[in-house]
Amino acid sequence: MTVRPTLRRYAAGSLLAATITIGLKAGAYLLTDSVALLSDALESIINLLGAAVALLALWVAAQPPDEEHAYGHTKVEYFSSGFEGGLILVAAGGIAYAAARRLLSPQPLEQTNLGLAVAAMAAAINLVTARVLFRAGRRYRSIVLDADARHLMTDVWTSAGVIVGVGLAQLTGWSLLDPLVALAVAAHILSTAVSLLRGSALGLLDTGLPERVRSDIVAMLDRYGTEGARYHALRTRQAGRRRFVSFHVLVPGHWSVQQGHDLLERIEGDVRAAVPDCTVFTHLEPIEDPTSFDDERLDRPSQDPEKARHPMD
């Protein structure tokens, strides 16, 4: 069993859960005429769209590298995560609008007991699904499943707040509690949307690996100093599950090609063992040559073509 088909099954499960909860929450709204329960149902529709996009993104990410995408397609996961963040923003706006209208025109609630029971059932389905997705997202380091799980958890908290608010409105007879709870729900889910959009933007900007992982790589490379080797120009980035690490290794110029190659094989193997799903790029340089240190920056200074042809002039 490969990793990607497994992830797609998780996304398909989320799609099924969203479909079921939409039906349950729509029924709860029709029973009660509660704007808070309407907001809950609207968010579940957003969940359904998000799960569909997540499934599509995982299918694209599973495609093998090709001529136009030599490093694979895993970066598409950031688009899915960003799309979910955008959907949550839309849901928050819709909820706030419906709540504002109900504040201006309060209405009594109907059949709240049955409606809240149906809403609680939908919340339980989402909670179980979110927990499963969270575990899978951590296990496979999938930002798509993590985003989907966080989206579902906002739905769970939304449902919990709605159930409490509508229940209190029914007990106290204060109908304004219904739209006020809906407004609180809208404010709460905004933070999740901002978090998802920020994470997606950082991923598309080639954000480096976490500091803890980078520190482990540095400590590992430092150990090779006892063998006369040095390194510089260490760079890391992440594209979905795939991680990339590159650095230059400087060794004594009198080493043979085989010696240098053997050392790089050992170093690269250690990095791949410590950082799963990692592609390692290395470059070997003589430690005595001053020009070996000219490429520590991302853009190496251009060299005069004449000097390159006649380096001893």
The pLDDT tens digits for 7-61 are 778 777 877 887 888 888 888 878 777 766 776 777 677 777 777 777 787 778 7
Q: Which two tokens stand for residue 61?
A: 């990410």
**The pairing of beta strand 278-286 with beta strand 242-251:** parallel
**DSSP bridge pairs for 281:** 246
CA atoms within 13 A on the CB side of 243: 20
With CA atoms as reference, report the closest residue to 57 among 38, 73, 33, 34.
73
Cα–Cα distance for residue pair 281/268, rounded to 1 Å: 8
Cα–Cα distance for residue pair 119/98, rounded to 1 Å: 18
**Run of H or E including 284:** strand 278-286
CB 232, CB 266: distance < 8 Å:
no
With CA atoms as reference, report the closest residue to 85 among 191, 160, 12.
191
Q: What sections of the chain are H helices per DSSP?
A: 3-32, 35-61, 76-104, 112-140, 143-172, 177-204, 211-223, 257-274, 305-309
What band does 71 get if pLDDT is binned at 50, 70 and 90? Answer: confident
Cα–Cα distance for residue pair 232/294, rounded to 1 Å: 11
Q: Which CATH superfamily is domain 211-301 in?
A: Cation efflux protein, cytoplasmic domain (3.30.70.1350)
With CA atoms as reference, report the closest residue to 264 among 212, 219, 208, 256.
256
What band does 180 get if pLDDT is binned at 50, 70 and 90? Answer: confident
Instruction: Kindly report, residue by residue over 232-259, the tens digit of the pLDDT.
Output: 889 998 877 778 999 999 999 899 999 9
DSSP single-letter state for residue 300? P
With CA atoms as reference, report the closest residue to 156 among 122, 192, 184.
122
Q: Which two tokens stand for residue 98?
A: 């419906």
Task: Specify the pLDDT at position 299.
Answer: 64
**Run of H or E including 157:** helix 143-172
Q: Matching CATH topology for 3-204 and 211-301?
A: no
Per CATH, the number for 3-204 is 1.20.1510.10
Instruction: Kindly report, residue by residue over 255-266, the tens digit of the pLDDT.
Output: 999 999 999 999
Task: Tally Cβ neighbours within 10 Å of residue 60.
Answer: 16
Task: Specify the pLDDT at position 5.
Answer: 54
Contacts of 230 (CB under 8 A, 6+ apart): 249, 250, 287
Instruction: Kindly report, residue by residue over 126-166, the tens digit of the pLDDT.
Output: 899 889 888 888 887 777 777 778 778 877 877 787 777 77
Instruction: Kindly report, residue by residue over 196-219, the tens digit of the pLDDT.
Output: 788 788 777 778 888 888 999 999
Exposure b/e, 117-138, CB count within 10 A at least 16 = b: ebbeebbebbbebbebbbebbe
What band does 94 get if pLDDT is binned at 50, 70 and 90? Answer: confident
Cα–Cα distance for residue pair 261/285, rounded to 1 Å: 11
Q: Which two tokens stand for residue 264?
A: 């790089």
Q: Which two tokens stand for residue 251?
A: 């060794």
Break the chain into its structural domains and give their ranges: 3-204, 211-301
With CA atoms as reference, report the closest residue to 165 among 30, 44, 32.
32
277: left (phi over 0), alpha (psi -120 to 50) or beta: left
Handedness of CA 34, 40, 42, 48 (dihedral sign): negative
**DSSP bridge pairs for 312:** none
